[in-house]
A = this chain, B = another copy of it.
Amino acid sequence: MESVKILVVDDESRMRKLVKDFLVKQNYEVLEASNGEEALDIFYENKGIALIILDVMMPKMDGWEVCKEIRSYSDVPIIMLTAKGDERDELQGFDLGVDEYISKPFSPKILVARVEAILRRSNVIGADAVISVGGIEVNKAAHQVKIDGKPIELSFKEFELLTYFVENKGIALSREKILNNVWNYDYFGDARTIDTHVKKLRSKMGSKGEYIRTIWGMGYKFEV
């Protein structure tokens, strides 16, 4: 899966930009709508929007209406931006199926944290999610790897090794470290065993095999 799409709906462009900036920094793809109708249009015309952030206060069609409208077709998670301490609204919102509230003004941390919490809850990211790096998808639950969408056959150790690599992308890993983590730490075999597995992994990964880089005198590094 590529980046996660989030739709931000607010009539104030300043606020949209603010929210967008934080999310973009976290590698989300952000779509914007300046009013309720536009939001609905964009939502229906774009596949795979994972989350909607909705301002309550908007002219013409307010956040509640947009929420209601969307809820009649979709279970997409919705976060509402409310004015501070508007409890009455919050109660109303939970009935409509709002997932979270963030009251303005909010800190970027809170925003990002709630977004991630929700996405984790809805399994868009997080534990069971597929780790996806540069066209390589590692599905730990299914113990399956896809390259450019096509499944490839890996043995147990190969899978474990690749998983360890993608989970530590960009980090130089010594053979010792790899042994301790992929093999049991009480394994006292030959460190060259890793080389053989790396070789097999590389060959099975085709051109993507280059992502597993040799750091001479040190170990390996997975980097896209």
Contact = CB atoms under 8 A, between A and B. Distances in A.
Given A156-B217, A216-B156, A217-B156, A74 B143 contact: no
A107 B46 CA distance: 10
A143 B172 CA distance: 6
A184 interface: no
Contacts of A20: none
A60 interface: no
A117 B73 contact: yes
Q: Considering the complex of A and B, which 7 residue pairs feature the smallest CB-CB distances, nearest first?
A: A156-B217, A143-B172, A73-B113, A44-B109, A73-B117, A141-B171, A142-B170
Q: Which among A72, A73, A123, A155 has the highest number of chain B CB atoms within 10 Å?
A: A73
Interface in A19-62: 44-45, 47
Given A44-B110, A73-B116, A123-B168, 4 more contacts: A44-B107, A44-B109, A45-B107, A157-B217
A127 interface: yes
A1 to B, nearest CB: 15
Contacts of A15: none
A191 interface: no
A94 to B, nearest CB: 16
Nearest to A215: B143
A221 interface: yes
A218 interface: yes
Contacts of A143: 172, 215, 218, 221
A155 B216 contact: yes
A45 B109 contact: yes
Interface string A198-221: 000000000000000001111001
A146 interface: no
